[in-house]
Structure 1
């Protein structure tokens, strides 16, 4: 995709999302109204400095103006996910979404076999986990506390600390796991 088209599309979307006129954005960014109009129409090849000025005026990262726009919908099939497993498939994790410049989380679907557990030494500082139990019963061990979650239950915790997922039942437990980086 043509970079000028990407910039023009992103600029127009970001400006209108903020209900800014070209004149208002011109005042915020120090880029002339005429230049902003030409960029939005794809008639100008803005310099790096001009893009920086616009980004600062919009209060967004520079890359927000040059990244390709996302599709309206993205479908990810389980068969296309990155699958990881441990202990002879007793713990299986499917990664649906990874972090990227526009996404500060990862989304996994996890299957934990009956009477199995999985220990995690902890993740990066400033990370949180959000767990939602789809099927079964999941016990989460956090340092000195244990939390038992049933189907439909959820928990959020500081995952930079060691934690353990435990399945004490005779059936597979399935849960979604979102790891959020803040």
Structure 2
């Protein structure tokens, strides 16, 4: 992907996450709508000042305009993941998710008994949930496409849309990390 295409995709992605129209972002960044439109179509050749203005208007770190977005949904089964090298022979670790800049994470241990599915209302825009099952089996994720997780499985999904949790076994324990944009 060319640098201009990467920037175009990132600006459009972050503008949509912020819920801004092209006109609204152009106004906040003190740019013309045509300049922003060209940039988002990959036709522009932005200078550093333009990109700083856009990042500031979007309230995102400058680096976000040069990053490929992480997938909205990630499922890592217990025997998968990016292994981390260790000199210790009795230690195996896998990186499941890194924390993006300007993010806030809350960590929960959850016990859930078998029964009705718990339907969760969407959290604020940009919220993502990370789940790791510790004991039992859990059906979790976006309401329209949940996944069944077993012990050790990791699942990442957008929580700014309707999502659900349901114990598949009599009782399930899982770790829930709720990630949201850091407040100022």
The normalised TM-score by structure 2 is 0.49
Larger Rg: 1
RCO (CA 8 Å, sep 6+): is it higher in 1 or 2? 2
